[in-house]
Amino acid sequence: MNTAHEVSARLRALGAATVYEAQGATGALDSGVKPIDPGMRMAGPAFTVDLRPGDNLMLHYALLKARPGQVLVADCKGFLEAGPWGDVLTAQAMKLGLAGLLIHGAVRDAESIVQQGFPVFCRGLSIKGTAKHQPGRIDVPVFIGDVCIRPGDCVVGDRDGVVVVPGERLDEVVARAEDREAKEALMRQAIARGATTAELLGLSDVLRRHGLS
């Protein structure tokens, strides 16, 4: 059995698109969720937070409970007119050794966060501040769009987007993703020798049926 750290490292190296395809084209968040810097990559088990839009009390509380290597997953209900996460929370998250932040909402202090090197995936940026009054919940399933993220599911993010791997499928998906990566490496080698993608993917008959011979 691989450790959580080993699995996260392998998934981060494989990338979100490969992982998404390897688990049957499931688990991808919608394209509105992106890193604040294209070079950001993250992978780790989810520590979930369900909080009220426009209030970040539960993010401060979550940083008292989260553990190194986890990805903080904050459900702000897609609200974009406040930035409940900024550079100070980022400093604490990095001190804790968190693997990154996925927030169903906006953040602020983006330039400082990028300079600190902490992976943040969000829906947008907002300079507006938040209150610190409203309770919420941690370690519960949350939804981002139509994807349910449960505590312990693995969150994988890079420039292409974010995919969620169910915790019980981690070893299987890693194996499938690495197999896919190996097959694609062989395809690239074949292309370098003169093969075509149509030939390698067996598309000749389909093209011919559509009069595209």
Q: Domains of the chain by range and CATH?
A: 4-166 (3.50.30.40), 174-209 (no CATH)
pLDDT of 4 reads 81
The confidence score (pLDDT) of residue 1 equals 47
Query: Average pLDDT in the 18-47 region?
Result: 97
pLDDT score of 79 more than 90: yes
pLDDT of residue 133: 96
**Per residue in 177-195, pLDDT tens?**
999 999 999 999 999 999 9
Q: How many Cα atoms sit within 13 Å of 38 on the Cβ side?
A: 0
Beta bridge partners of 49: 74, 138
**pLDDT at residue 2 in the model:** 66
Q: Are 107 and 81 in contact (CB under 8 A)?
A: no
Q: What is the pTM of this model?
A: 0.94
Q: What is the mean pLDDT of the chain?
A: 96
> Burial code of 80-101, b = ≥16 C-beta within 10 A, e = fewer?
bebbbbbbebbeebeeeebbbb
51-73 pLDDT tens trace = 999 999 999 999 999 999 999 99
Mean pLDDT throughout 160-189?
Answer: 96
Flag the least confident range among 4-8, 15-19, 112-116. 4-8
Three-state DSSP state, 28:
strand
